A and B are shown apart, each in its own frame.
Chain A
Amino acid sequence: MAVNKPGAGKPRGNLPPLELYVPEPQFRPGDTVDYSGLVIPEAGRQPRPDEACAASETRPLCDDMIRVLDAEGRAVGPWDPALDPETLRRMLRAMALTRAFDDRMYRGQRQGKTSFYMKCTGEEATSVASAFALADDDMVFPSYRQQGILITRGFPLVEMVNQIYSNRADRLKGRQLPIMYSARDYGFFSISGNLATQYPQAVGWAMASAIKGDTRIATSFIGEGSSAEGDFHAAMTFAAVYNAPVVLNVVNNQWAISSFSGFAGGERATFAARAIGYGIAGLRVDGNDALAVYAAMQWAANRARANAGPTLIEHFTYRAEGHSTSDDPSAYRSAQEREEWPLGDPIMRLKQHLVALGEWDDERHAAMDLELAEEVKKATKEAEKNGILGHGLHHPFHTMFEDVFEELPWHLEEQAEQAIHERRIKWPSWKEFSK
């Protein structure tokens, strides 16, 4: 035990003792929520600078909030992407399908068909509208809450469920925690549990594209909580230094499990504002406004494609549900937050817009919801034929030892043999049918 502990500092005149500030969210369980202090700029008032502008010109947009849909559901202002009704309906459908999928998988977890699930309820626009603005061969380095991108790109729902169930058709061979998808053929990079690692990887992918003279760009998503990781800083630095064709997204859903955004520094500056210090363009966007998300991603993608540099986009939204199936948000935040959230629900707002255009109505919406629920149910049933977690139908056991390296070294061959031997003792009737 150390005997020479450092003593107290010398008193300095009349200075007060130093105080540690620990952030505290505005509302805890049971509190009445009052969002009147939250500044929500009027839709349509944000200027749209040239896509090739100097990064510093975007500084005002980092404290503002790009919004297109007004309170009546009209698309207003220079960021209106003027999408045709058919595209708007497809976007609405992808968002609704994402929500229907989440709802069913959440129930599947509660029914014991899998171990774990994470919904993206309330954040569907951030992924779906982003995917609409990208080319299908642009590479996405997602976090675990961008399932909307896979769904938008047409990745089969059955494949998603197979992964969630870790069954014999799971293309990740039962190795990965549910929702840690990988879909190279859909431009969707393998999801890692380690937060923010994908951010500088996306920058590297974009640098490679530039080195090879390719035309594809990269994009990555993290939550506002993960922006506190060192890899955020590495990504921003490398993106700026090499002018990498990358779009870096921070989905600010206000909560990192139980920690509010203040623990990522959100009380002092917006997450978009971090861009300016790196010399990167920054945009802050209403993340529940699908048209604003689309417009921001389109702006940033065009900028990257024109070799005009990287962009950081903060999507201001709200995590409407628990962090995961292992989380109960009523233990740390007021249930009223979701109800009172001033930016509303992304699906309802796009629906309202289409209705205002005379291109949609309640009946069609209700019919779509029924149809999507049926589509998800069908995919689930189809996937269940391949097995659910813990019910025996999975990849051949030997595959557990494969893909550690390109080829199996001797020690893994030996261990595979030993593990198979142990299984035979445990279950004498078990047959390893592959090898």
Chain B
Amino acid sequence: MRELNMVKAINDALDVMLAVDPDVLIFGQDVGYFGGVFRATDGLQARHGQKRCFDTPIAESGIIATAIGMGAQGLRPVPEIQFADYILPAFDQLVSEAARLRYRSGGEFWAPITVRSPYGGGIFGGQTHSQSPEAIFAHITGLKTVIPSTPYDAKGLLIAAIECDDPVIYLEPKRLYNGPFDGHHDRQLATWAGHPGARVPEGRYTVPLGKAAIVRPGDDVTVLAYGTMVHVALAAVEETGIDAEVVDLRSIVPLDIETIVASANKTGRCVIVHEASRFGGFGGELSSLIQERCFYGLEVPIERVAGWDTPYPHAFEWDYFPGPGRVASALRRVMEND
């Protein structure tokens, strides 16, 4: 089995889908000849031609709108938005159109589009290259939102997203493109080499949407995370020695409620971790769902570790980013509350 980093796994998924489905096509800023600013579409235009993988004007609304029109004509577009911070000009097309098309047309039209977009911080990206907008999309009825944390999941989830006839927001944690970052920015950075999640099969396979993964079984506390925070949470668990169960949600919508509830009922304690700012973040929804369903099984209040309710700063990167230290503190707090 070969090992791939996350960018190459994504590239591989796109390559596979271009090969197996003649209706799949890829477009966005700089994705064509150049192969994308993160190399995710490298070589695809050369292999599959300009009509399957091409550059677009710098106009996010236009990129998503044309994808919707192409979907209505029978294609299966995979548009890219260069950074999730720049998805907002397309918000009207995503919310009012892509998400609502099947519903409002009584099922006559739908938007089988997958919007790929790098997201998340930990890279000194400042305000407009670091944000995590998943909660904004989670609130939109009709959109699915997916976030991988390993190269294996990245490829399998992306293929599942492309094959899905609902519009999917596929957020790529760019901090994980080249290695499994655990938040220890002061240490030697790891690569994907040797990581079990970097073993990526050839050809087509899928990781189903709406299925979480228990990446570390445990009995004392449930940690819910996704994207980069899965690796941060694992590091924090390791450092505290607490027997935590780490759940990688993988899909925000649809959400694997069964896995979450089963884990929370088992442990009776819950820590929710995400990079996005806290107020109105997806952690609020998770916390509320667990409270509603596991109230009598909970030993202590649910903790949320999140970005602060500020725009993403540049100089204070490591004070903002919810690193392993903050997650470990939360883990200790829920355990001390015995």
Q: Which A positions have Cβ atoms within 8 angstroms of B? A: 139, 141, 171-173, 175-176, 180, 182-184, 189-190, 192-194, 197, 199-209, 211-212, 214, 218, 230-231, 233-235, 237-238, 241, 402-406, 409-411
Contact = CB atoms under 8 A, between A and B. Distances in A.
A171 B164 CA distance: 24
Given A182-B106, A205-B73, A208-B75, A200 B142 contact: no
B105 A172 contact: yes
Interface of B: 25, 51, 56-57, 59, 61-62, 65-75, 77, 89, 92-93, 96-97, 100-110, 141-142, 144, 164-166, 210, 253-255, 257
A404 B142 contact: yes
Q: Provide the main secondary structure of the chain B interface.
A: mixed
Contacts of B59: 233-234, 237-238
B96 A175 contact: no
Contacts of A173: 106
Given A194-B97, A197-B92, A238-B66, A209 B102 contact: no
Given A207-B66, A230-B61, A403-B106, 5 more contacts: A141-B69, A172-B104, A175-B104, A190-B109, A241-B57
Given A176-B104, A200-B66, A208 B74 contact: yes
Contact of B61 (A172, A193, A231): A231
**Looking at A201, A207, A209, A406, which has the most chain B CB atoms within 10 Å of its CB?**
A201
A171 B106 CA distance: 6
Kindly name the residue among A204, A214, A409 whose own CB sees the greatest number of chain B CB atoms within 10 A: A204
Contacts of B253: 409
A406 B166 contact: yes
21 contacts: A171-B108, A175-B106, A184-B108, A190-B108, A197-B96, A203-B62, A204-B65, A204-B67, A205-B73, A207-B66, A212-B73, A231-B93, A234-B57, A234-B65, A237-B59, A237-B62, A404-B141, A406-B102, A406-B164, A409-B210, A410-B254
Contacts of A241: 56-57
A201 to B, nearest CB: 4
Nearest to B50: A211
Nearest to A191: B104
Nearest to A410: B257
A171 to B, nearest CB: 5
B72 A201 contact: yes
A358 B334 CA distance: 91
